[in-house]
Structure 1
């Protein structure tokens, strides 16, 4: 009896999920040792400019998902090897944001030490980018359930309409996250 090998897409997507968890774990645990140096270095590089740190934070937390959606929309133009490499890179990029999350028994002041003032706008921008994605998934899930209840059966036309609506919703939340990262007052 032979076991069927999964198609290449499934294989590299499942590997990307594993890479994402591994990078998040390493960055989350390792962040307690290097977060102050990394954030301090970024702060010095950007001359401790709050706006630049917010932009960098949003690029760290929100931009990987924008790039992923753009690549997904252009997937027919990418080779299998490019898709695989791209998936691994974007997954590691998104998961590396775990470096900015304080530990369970530590505060942000303890985690970032002297770089705490730089970590605030960087973390705020990261959270604004990531929360836009979270809000999109939450509202999309609720909308899909309500849409299913209202339409009864799923047709090609209803899926196309729902897809267009979800795309507009994603764009609005992403732009809202970027605007919040750049202009919203920090808590």
Structure 2
């Protein structure tokens, strides 16, 4: 069991965990720049698997970005029970999956989304809407988190006491969960752009 390939992979990834944000950024850029080459096939495949039901496509779009966020939130809550290699693997895989969803961004040239998605535009619209709702929760969490941290640092002073750090961490975790739930609701029930 000591030389198991999974254990070796976990050990190797655990050593490189500090580079996970760089990996996610690289996947984000590559998916955004070269996503045009594969995005139609990916959207068509999602449509084949999920069907053409708008609600299912919205949920799949939200899950592409929101699913990794939920996994990372759960991992953050139970972080003391997870080993370092498991945390590293979760960080790598989930950040890469979330970053790969940048393929759904609209085309930056003439023709817009119609040119980028072509015959799968009817599938890409609900997928993109669900994805955008999940991204909105990330942006709202970052903005509100920065505001909360600035206020707490102003009130409690620097460096923050350990008890204050724990309370702020739980508060921000709860805020993230609420914002993810709101974004899921918005992604599933909000009106699609016409």
Q: TM-score range by the shorter chain?
A: 0.7 to 0.9
Point out where structure 2 has 5 or more consecutive residues left out of the alignment: 1-11
Q: Runs of 4 or more off by more than 6 Å in structure 1?
A: none
Contact between 2:57 and 2:126, CA under 8 Å: does it hold in 1?
yes
CA deviation string 1:127-151 (max 9, x = no partner): 1112101101110101111222233
CA deviation string 1:118-174 (max 9, x = no partner): 101001101111210110111010111122223345333333332232222112111
CA distance in 1, matches of 2:13, 2:34: 31
The CA RMSD measured in Å over matched residues stands at 2.1
TM-score, normalised relative to structure 2 = 0.83
Tell which deviates more after alignment, 167-176 or 18-27: 18-27
Query: Shift of the alpha carbon at 1:9?
Result: 9.2
CA deviation string 1:10-30 (max 9, x = no partner): 953332122212222222222
The number of equivalent residue pairs is 180
2:188 pairs with 1:186: no
Query: Shift of the alpha carbon at 1:41?
Result: 2.2
1:158 aligns to what? 164
Change (3 A) 1:166 1:72: closer
CA distance in 2, matches of 1:152, 1:15: 31
- Aligned partner of residue 75 in structure 2, secondary structure: helix
1:124 aligns to what? 129
TM-score, normalised relative to structure 1 = 0.86
Tell which deviates more after alignment, 55-64 or 74-83: 74-83
Change (3 A) 1:9 1:35: closer
Change (3 A) 1:131 1:179: same
